[in-house]
Amino acid sequence: MRRARSSRGWAGRILLPSPDGLLVEWENGWRKIDRNVGLRGTVYAVMEDRQHSLWIGLAGRGLAQWRGYREWETYSAASGLASDIVYEIRPETDGKLWVGTEGGLVRGERQGAGIRWKKVPALDGVL
């Protein structure tokens, strides 16, 4: 469970990973973000970035960035992640991302329209 920390966007809401999507606490109950809005798979991790996008780590489906209704950007082993199983996501203040996967730790840096992922070799085989 994670509580969103921003001053806008998801501020103060509890974000709860679940096997069939992401549960978000609202004033009048819970809202589910799931395949109806484009999210597929079991959610392992979630975090909100400074632009109020949600980054969602998935079991076997990599990493998804949700910018809003049906606005998804996805990353997987095919695009440079060490594995399609994502356990944790941590941002840096400069916009870079650390992503803990089944295959090791990677660091992402936005380049052009996508993100360039680089595996952290010092931790190779530790996770």
User: At a CB cut-off of 8 Å and minimum separation 6, what does 67 contact?
Assistant: 51, 53, 73
pTM above 0.85, yes or no: no
- In this structure, the chain runs to a length of 127
Contact of 86 with 79, CB cutoff 8 Å: no
Question: What was the pLDDT predicted at 2?
Answer: 56
Structure confidence by residue, pLDDT tens digits, 36-73: 888 888 999 998 888 888 899 999 999 999 887 778 89
As a whole number of angstroms, the distance between CA 108 and CA 99 comes to 8
Tell me the C-alpha distance between 24 and 81, whole Å.
26
Residue-wise pLDDT for 9-37, tens only, equals 566 788 889 888 899 888 888 988 888 88
- Which domains does the chain possess? 2-123 (2.130.10.10)
Task: State the pairing for strand pair 29-33/43-48.
Answer: unpaired
- Res. 91: pLDDT tops 60: yes
